[in-house]
Each structure stands twice: as C-alpha cells, then as structure tokens.
Amino acid sequence: IDTMIPLQSREIWKKHGVKKFEDADEFQSKFIQHVETTLARSLYNCDDLAAYQATSQSVRDNLVIDWNKSQQRQTARDSKRVYYLSLEFLMGRALDNALINSQDGTEEPGVQKRERIKGAIDQLGFKLEDVLEQEPDAALGNGGLGRLAACFIDSMATGDYPAWGYGLRYQYGIFAQKIIEGYQVETPDYWLNFTNPWEIERSEIQVPINFYGYVDRSGSESGDSTLSASKWIGGERVIAVPYDMPIPGFKTENVNNLRMWSARPTTEFDFAKFNSGDYKNSVEQQQRAESITAVLYPNDNFQEGKELRLKQQYFWCAASLHDIVRRFKKSKHSWEEFPNQVAIQLNDTHPTLAIVELQRILVDLEHLDWHKAWDIVTKTFAYTNHTVMQEALEKWPVGLFGHLLPRHLEIIYDINWFFLKFVESKFPRDVDLLSKVSIIEEASQERQIRMAFLAIVGSHKVNGVAELHSELIKTTIFQDFVKIYGPSKFTNVTNGITPRRWLKQANPKLAKLIGDTINDPQDDFLLNMSKLTELAKYAEDADFQTKWNDVKQFNKLRLADLIEKLYEGEDVINRDHIRNTLFDIQVKRIHEYKRQQMNIFGCIYRYLSIKKLLSEGVPINEVEKKYPRRVSIFGGKSAPGYYMAKLIIKLINSVSDVVNHDEEINNILKVVFIPDYNVSKAETIIPASDLSEHISTAGTEASGTSNMKFVMNGGLIIGTVDGANVEITREVGEDNIFLFGNLAENVDELRYQHQYHPKPLPEELEQVLQVVESGTFDGDFKPLVDSIRHHGDYYLVSDDFKSYVQTQSLVDDVYHKNKKEWLKKSILSVANVGFFSSDRCIQEYADEIWNVEPLNN
Ligand code: H53
C-alpha cells in the first residue's frame, strides 16, 4: 500500500510542519506543554521525576525531528549503510548526553545549549543536576563489550555515517548489586518502571520469527539436496517488535537509529488447544514468548550455553536481517549489489547466526544459487573478536542447536563442507588441519558448533581490539585460519571511547579548563582530539598546574560525596586531607584474570607494613612518610554464578571493614567498595582518580577501555603490559605510566613452571596469605588462597606481586614527594590521549572494513 500523502495535501503538511525549540523560552513552552498534556500534571503537581520526563520529552521532540530528516536523507542518498549488531548496548543515561550533543556551533561564544537549558530549568523551579539524577541507567550490557557498542554508535552518529545499531530491548538490564554482609546480592533491574521517553515503539512493524519444527524438502526440485531451496516449517512462532532510540551526533544534525527488538506473542489462534478446552495452557504458551527478551544474561567473558540464550540470538539476528533485507529490497538493487549497499559488523560471535540466516534467506526464500549467495554473504559480514579466553568462546551442542534451528544446522554443515573442501584443496591430505579448523568440533563428547570459526569463514575481515590482542589471535586461537586465508583477512582496530560522554559530560570542569586554555570555547577538541596536544606546552606551567589540580580536587570531593551517600552517611573519606590523599581506583567487572585479588592483597600488604612500623614504636607521622595517605577504591559486578569472583568481593569488603575501623592507623589507608558500579557512577568515579589499576595477567585483557577513560581524565595508570595499555604507553610516553609484571610471551612458560616446578611464594605474598588464612578478615577465603598455593596460580599473582608492590611504592614517591612531576605526567597524558577517541576507531572501521563514507549534509 502507498503510505505517501498525495501532492495536493502536502502544502498543508508543510504549513503545520513541526519545529524544534531553539532557545530557553521555546524550551520552557514545550516543557510545560509536556507536563500538562503528555504527563497530565500541572504546576501544582510537578516533582523532579516529572521535570525529568518533561525535559526528556521536549529534547526528544527535537531529536525526532532531526532523526526523521536524517533517515530521509540516508534513504534519498541510497548510499551504503552500516549495521552494528550487538547483543549489548550499555548506554547509561541519555538526557545529559542529548543536551551536550545538541550543541551545534551556532551558539554565541561561551553560551552552550546545555547551559541555556540549565538556566531555563532553573527558572521553572528545578535544578538540572537533580533532574538528571532521576533517569535510570539503560544498563543493557555487562561491561566493556556493551559500553564499546554504545561509544561506537555515538561516534557513528557524530561522524555522519549512515549507520544503525541493532540490539535487544531487555526488560531487565544487568542486575543491581547490593552488598549484604560483604557479599554480592543480585536484585532485578526493572528499568522500564516509568515510561522511557527515549524509545519510540514501532508496533506497526511486526516480524514473525520461527523456532523448532522441521525441514520439508518434498516440494524441492532437486530432490533431497540441502544446498537448494528448502522449506523450514517452524514449530513455534513469536513476533519481534522494534523500539527505536534516536542517537544524536555531536555538532551535527545527524541523528542515527538504535533499533531494539522486543518479543511478543502472536495473535494466531491455537485451534487444537482451544478445541480441547485448554485455554489456560494456550495463554501460558503465549506468555512464554515474552521471556525471550526478558533478561540480559549477566556474564561477561563467559559462555553459559543455555537454550534461551540461543533463542535470543536467533530472534535478534532474524528480526534484524529481515529488516535489513526489506530496506534493501525497497531500493530496487539487484542482489549482487547487496554488499555494496550493506555492511554488517558482528560485535563478537553473539550475532554469528546472522551469517547463516542471510544465507538461508538468499537460498531458500530468494532462490539464489548457493555459491552466489555465499559470495554475497561473505562480502557483507565482518567480525570483531574481543577475547582469547577459552571459557568465553561460544560453542553450541549440535543437538540443542538442531532442535531449535533445524534448517540452520543443515546450512552450517554445508558451509563447513565447502570450507573444508577448500582447505583440502590448499593443503591436501592434512587431516589434522581439517579437524583443527572444522566448524564442527568432533573431539568433545558431543559435537559442538564453534561460532568463532563460523564467523571467520562467513566474514571478509576479522579484527581484534588492540594491537597486542590482534597479534595474539593470529598466533594462537586463529593461527590455522591465517595459514588458510593469509594474514590480510586479519586486522586490528584499537578500541576507543567517546570524549563527549567521558570527558565533557563526566568532567565538565576539566573540559572547560581545556577549552579555555587552548582557546577553543566551542569544544572543537571533542571532535578533533589532536588539538589536545596544545596542552603539552603548559605541562610545567605552575599556574596551569594549580588549576589542573583544583579540578582534580573538585572531582575527588564529588566522589567523596557519592561514597558518603552510598555508605549512608559514614564519613569514609576524610575531606580535610583530600589534597594529599591518593585516590587509587579499580572499577571493572570482577574476574580472576583482571586480578582484583592482587590489588586487595596489595592493600593488605600495605596495611600490615603500616601496622608493623607502629608496633615497632615508629610514630604515625613518620609512618605516613613511608606510606602516605591513600584510598583504594574498588567497584564492579561479578557474574551471579562465579564463585571465585564473589569471594574476591567479600574479601575486599572484609578488608575494608578491618582497615577503615582501625583507629591506630589514623586514616592513612582506606579501602572502599562502591556497590552497583554502572555507567552513571563511572561518570563520577573516573574523573576523581589519581591512579587507576589495569593489572590483568598479560595476554588476557583484549583491550580494556576504562584505561582510556581514566587517562582522558588526567589519571595515571598502574598496569601490566596488556591490551591497550601497550598503545597507551606508546601515546603518552613510558615516563607517564607505571608498568610492571611479566610479559604475555612468558605466560605459558610460567604456568608450566607452576605445574611442574613449583617454587616458594615471594615473602610479601606469603605474609599476606598467612594473615588471610589466620581469619583476620571475616569469611572463608581458602579457595582464593588455594588457587595460588595449590592449583597452579593460573593468573600468575605470585609471579607479579613483588613488582606490583614495588611499583606502588614508586607511585607513592612521585605523588607525594614530587607533585609537580605528577601533575606534569597527568597533563602530558591528556595531551596525548587523542588516539583513543572512538571517532578514530569508527573512521578506521569505515575505511578498512566497511567501505562507507560519511553522508555530508
Ligand atoms: O570487550 C572489551 C575489551 C575487553 C574485553 C571485553 C569483552 C566483554 O566485555 C565481553 C565478552 C568478551 O569476549 C570481551 O574483555 O578487554 O576492552 C571491548 O572490546
């Protein structure tokens, strides 16, 4: 059906065309209109929550107007589009970001749009800060991978790329973390409690998705070949409905789309059930549909292999591909043109089924020849790998998979057959190689589908997320594929972060100081981060150092306020000494490979050393010279089923309990665990760091992205030679980062030594473990200690502990004895952090992988 308005009516449409609010006055008018109509409230009944909703609705109106224009422009230009498929988008809050991104460069100097809205809200009787606090985080992700996707769509919108994100609209995001008696307790994150002003429900679009059933080849022309068009008769059907989130770019009118699918029951009528009078059962079956998008799986870097998770993956891939193909077909290109019109990026292996689904659409529904279809598929997809850790690499048992997706299993077998034939032709009679690279793993008890291998075979490019990681995948988990395809299929795109959220929004004071200093009142540096290098010339300027330090102190006070609030009034951080207290922060998912256990052992070691001096009669002010004031701050969630990670959280809290209440040490050491670490808390925590910890066992952290956020906010890093730490060192200079520990190349040998030639532990660690074993800290930490003492110390804590402790005392020396030097390092780091803008990543993806151009207005 034609949904276009006839020509003669269009004048009327144009006459009434909606307009964006441009100034404070127009904003206030919109705001009040939304309070009175959208919310059906009034000036007698308007609290902060209502103010948040009315503000958001007003800002959203503006976004939607630009969003419509952007989408029309993208369609009219008919240029190649990018689709970023990610099971996680860890967006955080939207309002402040939308206000910042509405800055368009037309403002009078010094008065940014956000500031005008702030003033307007003030006049209406509210405080912008309080209004912003009303918004729940959109926490539809676990950690680094999900937050990366969020930074990427910000950069794609900012760079004017015609790009869409596709994800799932979980009703429950990552659980909220409570700490009860030191232990993590998970509570549901029902984030859609109040209407979400940032989403647009599109219930007019309904995509049917099938599961189970069987393959019917009775009508097929070529008999029983699985290679030609086959008919899959699904056994269960649900409906996918999209919710769209407008994604505004910074200093551009371009607004992109993040499309999130939600599962609904079909309205189809089950006659069999009805006739048997089983009404209640048929309703229950319907309700099951909704469970598909009910909850985000709370594992980071770990695969659980549950059927519902596979269902989520297929539901999302099938709905997204249906949408992409429908849009492509409207443009009336021939199928050969598909890869020139569409680039699909797979964020990890979670969306690998999209490869199989496209092949199925082309062969079964569009009746293309298998090889022609496969050529289109492989030119369309590219795959990003985010980990080398075995437990995170997805595999699905053939039985479970074939039951849920019988036709897709056949297609995978056929893909594998042609792939192995190709390998065989290149490396004749290398049977060993064939079994090593087969998409179907035969070795284990039950045959498994190796999703990473399928993703490689079905893509034209595979990338890692930092240089070291991209080299590692070529020499370890994917080495045989390098042999087969050659090295050019494998590339690196080092991760990045968006400076709009992680500098301007999180640290407005620093952004202002930078803008003032480099004479950039319109914040152009947020687009062109190489401008930051101009800061270098002020690195030793005493005046500038003072201002720089003042910003840091302000941010530390802001964090102290947050901590006080979370500790329900307990004054954990002594504000009188905040200027000479080093804030040492490690916030990220809790995982043995990230080694929070090493950090807390380090805290214990420091505590014991202080106590020892005191017991020898050294006065506290002398002790303080050796162990200057420090607050060790931790934060992060553990997967609910990850026993060791949960035990690490308990240990941190138990140590905190002892240390913080030991009056003898006079507050020179504090240990703090911040509960429920999330994006909005990160925005307060990160700008307050003097030092942050990125101390994974070398070779295990693919990139890390919080390391970049801390550096962008003037914090220094203590870290191992791992992930993006390597490139951070290259950019900011070796003098401005505290590196320690063993290198990735030595890890295998060290592990071997632990297995076969165990040595006594270094004395520093031995001391710590003995105290932990003695019961000084509440809880049973035997498993943690045993993993080091008796189970091979897989994460090499004992190998790195000594150099960790030594490096920490180097940190103390610089921070406390040479503050000028410290500030210089901090300024130089920010001056050279530009490389880690996600704008740079997106440009690399666009040029090297997607072959797409920005759409200029
Ligand atoms: O992805 C980040 C990396 C980080 C890596 C993380 C990640 C997940 O968050 C989840 C699964 C996975 O395989 C990897 O651990 O090193 O910075 C973004 O690339």
Separation of CA 697 and ligand 1 centre (Å): 15
**How many other CB atoms are there within 10 angstroms of residue 259's CB atom?**
20
In contact, 334 and 303? CB cutoff 8 Å: no
Best mutation site among 299, 352, 387, 637 for ligand 1 pocket (most ligand atoms within 8 Å of CB): 387
pLDDT of residue 286: 81
Separation of CA 385 and ligand 1 centre (Å): 9
Q: How far is Cα 373 from Cα 458, in angstroms, rounded to an integer?
A: 11
* Known active-site residue 476: no
Helix 24-33 to helix 113-124 angle, to the nearest 10 degrees? 50
* Known active-site residue 694: no
ipTM: 1.00
User: Across the chain, what does the average pLDDT equal?
Assistant: 96
* Known active-site residue 577: no
Q: How far is Cα 349 from Cα 364, in angstroms, rounded to an integer?
A: 24
CATH class of 78-94+142-207+239-494+844-850: alpha beta
- Our CA dihedral for 617, 622, 626, 629, rounded to 10 degrees, sits at 110
Residue nearest to atom 12 of ligand 1 (CA): 301
* Known active-site residue 782: no
Q: What is the mean pLDDT of residues 612-626?
A: 97
- If we measure between CA atoms, which residue out of 705, 628, 852 comes closest to residue 161? 852
3-state DSSP assignment of residue 171: coil
Query: Tokens representing 538?
Result: 């002020």
- Our CA dihedral for 314, 315, 321, 326, rounded to 10 degrees, sits at 150
Give the number of the atom of ligand 1 that is nearest the alpha carbon of residue 146: 9
* Known active-site residue 447: no
Catalytic residue among 588, 606, 629, 754: 588
Q: What is the mean pLDDT of residues 347-370?
A: 98
Check if 78-94+142-207+239-494+844-850 and 508-834 are the same fold.
yes
DSSP-derived secondary structure for 239-281 = EEEEEEEEEEPTTSS-EEEEEEEEEEE-----HHHHHTT-HHH
DSSP-assigned beta bridge partners for residue 244: 200, 259
Q: pLDDT tens digits for 150-206?
A: 999 999 999 999 999 999 999 999 999 999 999 999 999 999 999 999 999 999 999
pLDDT of residue 107: 60
* Known active-site residue 127: no
In contact, 362 and 399? CB cutoff 8 Å: no
What fold is seen in the domain 508-834? Rossmann fold (3.40.50)
Give the pocket of ligand 1 (CB within 6 Å): 142-145, 148, 300-301, 348, 386-387, 392, 465, 495, 701-705, 723
pLDDT of residue 228: 87
Catalytic residue among 93, 116, 386, 556: 386
Q: What is the mean pLDDT of residues 797-812?
A: 98
Q: pLDDT tens digits for 431-486?
A: 999 999 999 999 778 999 999 999 999 999 999 999 999 999 999 999 999 999 99
Give the number of the atom of ligand 1 that is nearest the alpha carbon of residue 148: 18
- If we measure between CA atoms, which residue out of 442, 453, 210 comes closest to residue 318? 210
Q: What is the mean pLDDT of residues 781-796?
A: 98
pLDDT of residue 283: 83
Residue 222 has pLDDT above 80, yes or no: no
Return the domain boundaries, the chain: 18-77+97-134, 78-94+142-207+239-494+844-850, 508-834
Residue 751 has pLDDT above 80, yes or no: yes
The DSSP letter of residue 180 is E
3-state DSSP assignment of residue 707: helix
Q: pLDDT tens digits for 805-827?
A: 999 999 999 999 999 999 999 99
